[in-house]
Every structure is written in C-alpha cells, then in structure tokens.
Amino acid sequence: MTQTNQTQVTEFLLLGLSDDPHTQQLLFILFLGVYLVTVLGNLLLMSLVQVDSQLHTPMYFFLFNLSVADLCFSTNIVPQALAHLLSRKKPISFTRCAAQLLLLLIFGCTQCALLAVMSYDRYVAICNPLHYPSIMTWRVCARLAAGSWVIGVLVSLVDTTFTLKLPYQGCNSIAHFFCEAPALLILASTDTRTSEMVIFLMGVMILLIPVSLILISYGCIIETVVMMKSTDGRLKAFSTCGSYLMVVILFYGSAIITYMTPKSSEEQEKLVSVFYAMVTPMLDALIYSLRNRDVKAALRKVATRNIPCRLGIFH
C-alpha cells in the first residue's frame, strides 16, 4: 500500500528474514519444527501438572504459568511468520500489528517476571529447605504468579502506548518478521526519543532487575551446592542450574540487546529476535518437560494407567 506523508499508515509490510525462496522454505521447515516442539512440550507439561498430584508443588505451579506464557508468546508470533514465509506479500493491518505488539509484550514481560519468581522458589528450596513449606505457601505462590501477570500487563500497556501513539506516515515497510517496538519506532514520522526513553526504563524494570535477582539467587544456590557432601546431589543440582541459566542468558540477553542497547544492523536485530521469540520457548519446553525426570515419571504413570483401560475395550 502506498502512503503519502499526510496519510496515516493503515497497513504495514513485514519484510521477513529473507527474500530468497529457497531460504524461506528452509526457514519454514525449521520454524515449524521448533513451534511443534514448543506446543507439544508445553501442552504436555500443562496437562501432567493438572492430572498428577505429585506435580502439585509450587515449582510446577510456576512452571504451569510459564508454559502458558511460552505457548501464547510463541503462538502470537510463529504461525503468522510461517504463513508469511509461504507468501510473496507479507501485509499486516495496523490493528493486527498493534494487537501482536501488545500480546507479545504481555507474555514476554510475564515470562521475565516468572523466571525471577522461579529462581526465588529454587533459592528457598535449596538454601532454606526447612522453612520452604512455611515460606512458599499456596497463598504466596498465587500472589507471586498473579503479580507476574499484572506486571507483564502493565509494562506492556506502557510500551505499547508510547509506541503506537506516534504518527506513522509515509514508509510502511517493517524490517522484521513480526511487529516489535524497536522496529516500529524506526518508521515513526516524529521524534521518538521520549518513547525510546520510556521503553528503556521499562526494560530496566522488567529485564535488568529480574535478571539481577536471578543471578544473585543462583549465586547463593551454587554456593550452597558446592558445600553439599553428596557428589550425586552436586552433579544433579549443577545440571539443573546449568540448563536453567542457559535459558535465562539466551532469553534475557537477546531481549536486552533488542530493547536496551544502541541499534545495530537490521539483520542482526532480526537474528537476535529469533532467539527470544522462538528458541527460548522451545528450550523451556525441552528442559522443563521432555528432559525433566518428574515430568517423565508422571508421563509413564499416566501411560501405564491408561493402557490397561484401553486394552479392556477388547475383552
């Protein structure tokens, strides 16, 4: 759609990750595989947490909330990206772009808060196990989870408001594969310094503060683990901490680069966005579902309980 300098943009064109048809086909297969793992892994965890009483613990309550946020976050981005990889033109209306931006920030910011809450839960469980039941009560857990969602909504409303209140006239081509605040601000037809400052301050609150709390929590956890007498216990704890910290570094690192650092090349920004938009939700599904011993044990329990029932149909 051709826009004039006096006309408000009503439609954007997403330029995507590549113009090469062969590359687009490869990306479609790759992203589809990543999305399927993300969906199946998170749905599996959510289902097992509900049906298995052994998983009715604070840790899996928070993981359930994280899976909901991961699933919604990925579904808000990937299906549209897949459809655009198979089409020549990649239009998105201003309204749909605004909705995608709002939902992206809601679920993404909620993930940030939940990861910090989960690190606090693990800190109490490992560093103060005797008082864990009295500290992490279900009332406290419900408030922490609800607070994470409220913070996610509030931060997203601020970022979305200061992004979409700007006039968008003239160029409507977004050098990205989904609607993201930094990519949209480039197209604004006015000075964006105020909006950029607000988004930076929101980033400090939802990115830098949570990641600092996570690093402090896991520093204390590692110190406690080192003092363990059991070698097996140390190895198990380090394996769990290592996997978790890898996800944290990828998610927070890529988000901080996108929202809180000087703008780099468009190609680099899109590549970084792939990590927190697609890779980290998949890693969450793999680490917390498919590689989790408790989840695999719950899955075996459900499977062995259902197999006799199905076999009984034939008698």
Nearest in space to 206 (alpha carbons), one of 261, 155, 279, 278: 155
139 vs 160: CA distance, rounded Å: 31
Asked if the structure places residue 4 within a domain, the reply is no
Residue with tokens 């909620």: 110
Q: Is residue 223 one of the residues assigned to a domain?
A: yes
Q: Does residue 81 lie in a domain region?
A: yes
**Domain for residue 315, yes or no?**
no
Residue 291: predicted pLDDT: 64
Domain with 236 in it: 11-299
Residue 311 counted as domain residue: no
Q: Taking Cα atoms as reference points, which of 24, 52, 101, 3 lies closest to residue 289? A: 52
Query: Nearest-CA neighbor of 82 among 31, 34, 38?
Result: 31
Greatest alpha-carbon pair distance for the chain in Å reads: 75
Q: Residue ranges of the chain with pLDDT lower than 50?
A: 1-5, 311, 313-315
Structure confidence at residue 75 (pLDDT) = 95
Burial 245-257 (b: 16+ CB within 10 A, else e): eebbeebbbbbbb
Per the listing, tokens 């199946």 go with 40
- 125: amino acid identity, one letter: A
Q: What's the confidence (pLDDT) of residue 3?
A: 44
284 within 8 A of 42, measured Cβ to Cβ? yes
Token pair recorded at residue 6: 């006096």
CB within 8 Å of 228: residues ≥ 6 apart: 234, 237
Neighbouring CB atoms inside 10 A of 307's CB total 10
Residue that the structure tokens 């609607």 belong to: 179
Quote the CA–CA distance of 293 and 296 in Å, as a whole number. 5
CATH of the domain at 94: 1.20.1070.10
173 domain-assigned: yes
In the prediction, which pLDDT does 293 show? Answer: 73
Picking from 100, 79, 104, the residue whose alpha carbon sits closest to that of residue 12 is 100
Residue type, 190: T
What is the pTM for the complete model shown?
Answer: 0.88
Neighbours of 98 (CB within 10 A): 16
Provide CB contacts within 8 A for 68, sequence distance 6+: 42, 46
pLDDT at 251: 87
Looking at the structure of the chain, the number of domains it has is 1
Structural domain includes residue 289: yes
Residue 49 lies inside a defined structural domain of this protein: yes
The residue with tokens 């589809």 is 32
